[in-house]
Chain A
Amino acid sequence: MLVFTLRRCVQSIAVLLLMSLLVFVSVYAIGNPIDILISADADQIERARVIAAFGLDQPLWVQYFYFIKNALAGDMGRSFVYATPAMGLILERLPATLELAVSAMLIAVVIGLPLGLWAGLRPQSMTSKTIMTVSIFGFSLPTFWVGLMLIMVFAVQLGWLPTGGRGQTALLFGVPFGFLTWDGLKHLMMPAFNLSLFNIALIIRLTRAGTQEALLQDYIKFARAKGLRNRRIVGVHVLKNILIPIVTVVALQFGSIIAFSIVTESIFAWPGVGKLLIDSIRVLDRPVIVAFLSLIVVIFIGLNLCVDLLYSLLDPRVRLSEAKG
């Protein structure tokens, strides 16, 4: 187990270095940062001063070294637009994005798991067939368009929910969260549901397949023969065994939920990291883009590492095959 963990950590660090090189080359080597940093009417002396100040007269590998050094210290430069440190700007908005992502995941599990169980237990019933047909839409509907339609129906036509924004927030451990106030909840509902659509469909399908498979196993037959009540069989014996793949998928999907929240945040004007990124791309605020890229790469590699380790913990076969290969 220790060897496996160590090997995975080394792999992750290697990928991290590779990605930092990619980010560095694509941002600093393509396009000239001097043109962005210095205004067009600056004189020669001013130009030379700025170039020296940013270390742009150094060879590329020295610049890369400083880039890494600064990045490790959390310094990704200052935003051109807000004139504050780029990393701070992003961290400030991270709670909003995480709140949205966690709510979406919760909604997906709370809706998806029971529906999937139902569809798996009674595959022939009309309800199950309806559930499965609707879940196909979850996969094929363009999520951003569903978001627009949600706004159209619930905000414009019915006027029940606000069209966007985060609403009132309350402090929890010094961090503002929206779900603590009624107004914040109302703002959270639509974007979170929109973001969860794909995962509802995914969890329904996984749960249904898992349930159908589990029902054929001997331990279920044995439990029935023992005379256990149906509720206990489903709630304990079936559920326990289908949870492992679902937990894994939920963990894996969390990353793509964060990625997709970029779209949802733009639609619902949710003041999170994703909206910041899109706004920064529009005005070419490079330090913010770089800071976002670095952060998201770290998050993803960390997430993948966690999932790998968790998986090897839950399923020893993964560990063994790795050790052999």
Chain B
Amino acid sequence: MFKKITAADTPFSRFLQAFFGSKLATFGFVLLVLILLAAVLAPFIAPQNPYDLEHLDIMDSNLEPGKKSLDGLAYLLGTDDQGRDMLSAILYGLRISVMVGATSTVIALGIGLSLGLLAGYAGGRIEALIMRVADIQLAFPPILVALILLALTGRGVDKIIIALVTVQWAYYARTTRSTALVERKKEYIEAARLLGLSPLRIMFRHLLPNCLPPLIVIAALQVASAISLEATLSFLGLGLPVTEPSLGLLISNGFQYLMSGKYWISFFPGVALLVTVIAINLVADQLRDVLNPRLQVQ
């Protein structure tokens, strides 16, 4: 079967077509866009600024979801012990969680990719050193590595990002290296080398674009696990400081009220976290299927 090549039939449009071929993935994508919008626009769409004490009324504390406050406003998801609207707190928390997860993934991708390219292109001792370090680190579970780092450095936005980057870089380095090893032997790299291009240029302009597809998939999956890991660490009181209340901290805050039956303070931030992670996973799964060259051949 030969398809007629039209102007619209670019690789990108084919990618879009394949991607949105699955209903589940489309659903995940729409969900993700909505979540991102909610996170970015939180200050504009949240019913109140949950951290502006002027807006909080202690008389409104621990209200059940849907209950009206004294001034007649309804709290859709209830309020916490400070009389804070949970919906607003979740929107603001989502913003912090997504920001931390995405930032750490981008930095880790940059570092892992550079080291992986270097290892794959240079070979020899450099490769052995980088890969050995990655191997040793991967022998330890991510949560343990992050926990140890945070135990030694203390909590803070910069510190948790450093911890999340440390946990992630090795995945990218290994994947990049294995693809780079295959690509390095191909003719276009040889041609580039014979042209006298600098190794840096060959690595980043010629080698890198061909190593990208698997990295995109891993990065997408890693954002979800980074968000989840940050929430876990913040829940344990080791991640973000109380001044940056992410979803994990909100859940942790509600934990003490859970025992007295006030489920909503922990429950709804958890649902927000869950929906975010699932939406990202749905999109990443579809990306993996679409970008997998083995499946494209048919």
Contact = CB atoms under 8 A, between A and B. Distances in A.
A156 B258 contact: yes
A278 interface: yes
Contacts of A267: 255
A149 B143 contact: no
A143 B151 CA distance: 21
Interface string B35-63: 00000000000000000000000000000
Contact of A263 (B143, B148, B224, B270): B143
A142 B231 contact: yes
Given A140-B281, A144-B232, A149 B267 contact: yes
Contact of B224 (A18, A140, A296, A301): A140
Interface residues of B, number: 32
Contact of B232 (A149, A256, A263): A263
B212 interface: no
Interface stretch (B117-125, B200-208, B235-243): B235-243
Contacts of B246: none
A173 B185 CA distance: 61
Candidate in B152, B224, B237, B278 with the most chain A CB atoms within 10 angstroms: B152
Interface in B253-272: 255, 258-259, 261, 263, 266-267, 270
B263 A152 contact: yes
Contacts of B259: 151, 156, 163
A281 interface: yes
A142 B274 contact: yes
A314 B259 CA distance: 49
B78 to A, nearest CB: 14
B141 interface: yes
B151 A148 contact: no
Given A140-B278, A156-B258, A266 B236 contact: yes
Contacts of A158: none
Contact of A15 (B136, B228, B277): B136
A282 interface: yes
A62 interface: no
Contacts of A301: 139
B216 interface: no
Contact of A152 (B152, B228, B258): B258
Most buried by B among A27, A157, A281: A281
B131 interface: no
| Chain A contact surface mostly | helix
Given A142-B228, A266-B236, A148 B251 contact: yes
B140 interface: yes
A142 B232 contact: yes
A175 to B, nearest CB: 25
Nearest to A151: B258
A81 B267 CA distance: 34
Interface in B133-151: 136, 139-141, 143-144, 147-148, 151
B98 interface: no
B277 A142 contact: yes
Given A15-B136, A142-B273, A263-B232, A148 B141 contact: no
A148 B270 contact: yes
Contact of B251 (A26, A145, A263): A145
B141 A142 contact: no
Contacts of B140: 255, 259, 300
A169 interface: no
Given A149-B270, A259-B141, 18 more contacts: A18-B136, A26-B152, A30-B152, A140-B277, A142-B273, A144-B231, A144-B232, A144-B235, A145-B231, A145-B266, A151-B259, A152-B258, A152-B263, A157-B261, A255-B140, A256-B143, A262-B236, A300-B139
Interface of B: 136, 139-141, 143-144, 147-148, 151-152, 224, 228, 231-232, 235-238, 251, 255, 258-259, 261, 263, 266-267, 270, 273-274, 277-278, 281
Q: Would you list the 9 A-B pairs with minimal beta carbon distance, nearest first?
A: A256-B141, A259-B144, A145-B270, A259-B141, A281-B151, A140-B277, A26-B152, A140-B278, A304-B139
Interface of A: 15, 18, 26-27, 30, 136, 139-145, 148-149, 151-152, 156-157, 163, 255-256, 259-260, 262-263, 266-267, 277-278, 281-282, 289, 293, 296, 300-301, 304
